[in-house]
Chains A and B, each alone.
Chain A
Amino acid sequence: MMTANTFDLHTYWTRHLRPRLKPLPYLLLLPTVYFVYLFTIMPTFKVLRDSQTYYHPNRPAREIMSDLSLPGIEEAKRSIRGPHDVGFAYFRAMFDPDTVEGERFFRAMRNTIIYVVTTVPISMLLAFTFAVLVNRRLRWIGSARIAFFYPTMLPMVSAATIWLFFFTPEYGLWNAALRWFGYHGAENWVINPDLALVGLIIVAIWKNAGYFMIFYLAGLQNLPEDVYEAAALDGASWWVQMFRITLPLLRRTTLFVSVVAIISAFQTIDHALVMTYELVTGEADLLLYEIYNQRFILQNYGFANALTVVMIAILLGLTIINFLISERENE
């Protein structure tokens, strides 16, 4: 009992805390912490605050009776330009499809989800296929690896520019190839609202498959050879080896690649800036594109901030899910 009581703050301080409170580590960490604070932490709180302000600087500063077209706002005589404090009205509007904001939000969310659930699995499947194909000791196989990987090195804006031509009606090579396979549908993959999102998806898959390939390739090269030798002795076919041994052993790689793929799918819109900017009327807008568009083109400041908040929430949610899954894997 006495020993337990001898624990006192003074010894804890001198023995444990003080040696661990020297200024040097904090000083060395300061630049990183400062820049992370300035460009990640502080802005996150700033958008939360700014998402509560109505401000349309491209509307005239005129006072009329208005509810600002936002749900839960009392009608009053106020400027249609703003700024006005509207609380969480933008978040209510986002989930009310009758408002302009709600319609935009639903459309952007729908597009983003379609985009993610198509680009991620397809590019991962291709990545795995490529990895299996180039993971052979064969002369010239290095050229195939280059062919699959080089799109990763291109800026998205150049990739999209090249594909702009491939998607041209009549003489674009993508359409020529499709026609050869008997396709006779619509051909303008850039300006046709029904096709524009597919166009973005195709470019993203083409660009990213090679990047994901290298993770599978590294995974394949680290597989234990003896397992395969044993399987071969048992007479297991190539397919059995693939599905019973290779894929299960690469489960962690797959999980990891899918996280990288999903996060990058959310934050890449450079191809949309080339392909759909001003040409498509919103039918192919992804969430981040909508943020850019609302803030810098349509100048709906409050809504752009509210969309950013949603985007942050989604990304944090994904991080938590990823964390939970990897914890379970580790058990």
Chain B
Amino acid sequence: MKMRILLILALLLTTGTAAIAHAQDPVVVEIYFPIAVDSPITETLEGYAATFEEANPGVDIVFSYEGGYSDVKNKLLTTMEGGGDLPALGIMLATDIYDLRNAEAIVPWDAYISDDYLADFFPTWLENSYYDYDLDGTAEFYGIPFQRSTVLLYYNKTMLEENGFAAPTNWEELATTAQALTTADRWGILNPNSWPYWVFQPFAIGAGQNIVSESDSEVFFDAPEVVEALQFWVDLYEVYGATPAGVQSNWGDAPGLFADGAAAMILHSTGSLPSILAKADFEVGVMAVPGKEGGYATVSGGGNLYLVAGTDDATAEAAWNFVQWLTSPEMAVDWSINSGYITTRQSGLELDTWTAYVAENPQAADAVAALEYTGREFSVQQLNDVRNILHSYILSVLNGEATPAEALAAAQAEAAAILSIYVME
């Protein structure tokens, strides 16, 4: 009896697992895709897959939707380690390039891309695409820009005009406008604190110093300009009372509050533009963040298309064909119109579909205009650790536990200690 049970157990085990393996006739290109819960994006993507499959018989495009960007990355790494079925492509944060390459999760695109192909992308999208892993002096190309965004300042144009304000052009105007528009049930401005570095970078750049350079192991957390930027954040509630004090604003809540008129201005991703436009019953203005003494600044963000390591040649070839088609100027514009992300190809701006769209939606043109002021997004080796340090100290300043200068000096010291092993002489 005992043996019989064991035999049955063993049998169940083998049949259960054997059922997983299945033959695949067409070339299947699976793509891990990060997706926020609600967006029409899935329908758009399924449409793309169908269109491409029709033109390319024998190729099956399968989108696998995940939660956020970090879910996609963690899932790819765990699946790779666990020995599960891997996708051919993943859309992951541009900034995760070092982690992904170091973990041997992605391979370069160099065999496929050409200079002509890359030349048409907005240069700012390519700032986190190269990595010289083997230190031979030539950086390989890993991330093809796809779902790209920037930080934008959204402002309630109707409300500003009714109160006699124009769009702010420097920090002083930003603060006083926000202050004047703050009432008992409305904030002048919201800087979401859920993921602070990204919203903070435009202020640092606007003061004259980005927190990162081109290098993978250098940060500038304690530069005087960066300290000034953080001080300005504090001033926004301490001096002007124009934003909630301390750590308060959620990333997810800000667009709703703005659309409901409970915030006059917010800092948010380009990706929120369609949902905000759909809900707001006033005129929405978007622009890059005003610089300290004038000028504008913002920072790039969003995800690139990565080729997953271990993809066989035939699948990689099919994946590349799909990527090439997906990132063509026509498709990039279509994607931008459907998703709200910014088109990746410069020549796309001359297409009729785009000019017609912009005539209806002037905000989209303003979002593209912000690209001119875009700095490199925060990405270094061991990004999780270094970013946590910066976040931790920024939040401690907002909580009133340290001054910006003290906190950022400590952040710099800790980050430099971690990054020291990556500094190559």
Q: Which residues of A contact B (CB under 8 A)?
A: 24, 27-28, 30-31, 57-60, 62, 64, 66, 69, 80-81, 100, 168-170, 186-188, 190-194, 278-279, 281-283, 296-299
Contacts and interface: CB of A to CB of B under 8 A. Distances in A.
Closest 8 A-B residue pairs measured CB to CB?
A: A192-B247, A27-B2, A281-B392, A281-B388, A281-B391, A58-B103, A60-B102, A186-B246
Given A192-B246, A193-B247, A297-B74, 8 more contacts: A31-B5, A59-B102, A60-B102, A69-B421, A186-B247, A187-B248, A191-B193, A282-B392
Interface string B222-258: 0000000000000000000000101111100100010
Contacts of B244: 169, 187
B366 interface: no
Given A62-B135, A297-B74, A186 B248 contact: yes
B396 A193 contact: yes
Contacts of A194: 247, 399
Interface of B: 2-3, 5-6, 9, 68, 70, 74, 77-78, 99, 101-104, 133, 135, 193-195, 244, 246-250, 253, 257, 262, 381-382, 384-385, 388-389, 391-392, 395-396, 399, 418, 421-422
Nearest to A196: B247
Given A100-B418, A281-B388, A188 B250 contact: yes
A194 B248 CA distance: 12
Nearest to B104: A57
B363 to A, nearest CB: 26
24 contacts: A31-B5, A31-B9, A57-B102, A57-B104, A58-B99, A58-B382, A59-B382, A168-B253, A169-B249, A169-B253, A186-B248, A186-B399, A191-B395, A193-B247, A193-B392, A193-B395, A193-B396, A278-B68, A279-B195, A282-B388, A296-B77, A297-B384, A298-B384, A298-B385
A192 B395 contact: yes
Contacts of B74: 296-297
A281 B387 CA distance: 9
A64 B135 CA distance: 13
Contacts of A66: 421
A330 B15 CA distance: 51
A188 B249 CA distance: 7
Nearest to A278: B70
Nearest to A293: B384
Nearest to B100: A58
Contact of A190 (B102, B246, B250, B418): B250
B384 A169 contact: no
A231 B421 CA distance: 74
B102 A58 contact: yes
A7 B58 CA distance: 83
Nearest to B244: A169
A135 B99 CA distance: 57
Contacts of A283: 392
Interface majority SS (helix, strand, loop, mixed), chain B: helix
A163 B2 CA distance: 48
Contacts of A278: 68, 70
A197 to B, nearest CB: 14
A81 B68 CA distance: 27
Contact of B250 (A30, A31, A191): A191
A81 B102 contact: yes
B308 to A, nearest CB: 15
Contacts of B395: 191-193, 281
A35 to B, nearest CB: 10
B82 to A, nearest CB: 11
A27 B4 CA distance: 11
A278 B248 CA distance: 16
A124 B2 CA distance: 44
Q: By CB atoms of chain A within 10 A, which of B2, B6, B399 has the most?
A: B2
A215 B140 CA distance: 63
A233 to B, nearest CB: 59
A283 B54 CA distance: 51
Contacts of A100: 385, 418
Contacts of A170: 253, 257, 262
A24 B3 CA distance: 11
A170 to B, nearest CB: 7
Contacts of B262: 170
B194 A191 contact: yes
A53 B340 CA distance: 47
B301 to A, nearest CB: 15
Nearest to A68: B421
B114 to A, nearest CB: 27
A188 B78 CA distance: 31
A60 B422 CA distance: 9
Contacts of A191: 193-194, 247, 250, 395
A28 B391 CA distance: 56
B73 to A, nearest CB: 9
Given A169-B253, A194-B399, A299 B103 contact: yes
A66 B381 CA distance: 17
A186 B399 CA distance: 9
A299 to B, nearest CB: 7
Contacts of B195: 279
Nearest to B392: A281
Contacts of B247: 186, 188, 191-194
A30 B382 CA distance: 46
B102 A188 contact: no
Contacts of B3: 27
Contact of A193 (B68, B257, B399): B399
A190 B68 CA distance: 18
A296 B78 contact: yes
Contacts of A31: 5-6, 9
Nearest to B384: A298
- Output the residue of A59, A190, A283, A298 with the most chain B CB within 10 A: A59
B417 to A, nearest CB: 8
Given A31-B6, A192-B399, A168 B250 contact: yes
A30 B4 CA distance: 13
Nearest to A103: B414
A279 B246 CA distance: 15
B262 to A, nearest CB: 8
A112 B392 CA distance: 19
Nearest to B383: A58
Contacts of A62: 135
A31 B4 CA distance: 12
Contacts of A281: 388-389, 391-392, 395
Contacts of A193: 247, 392, 395-396, 399
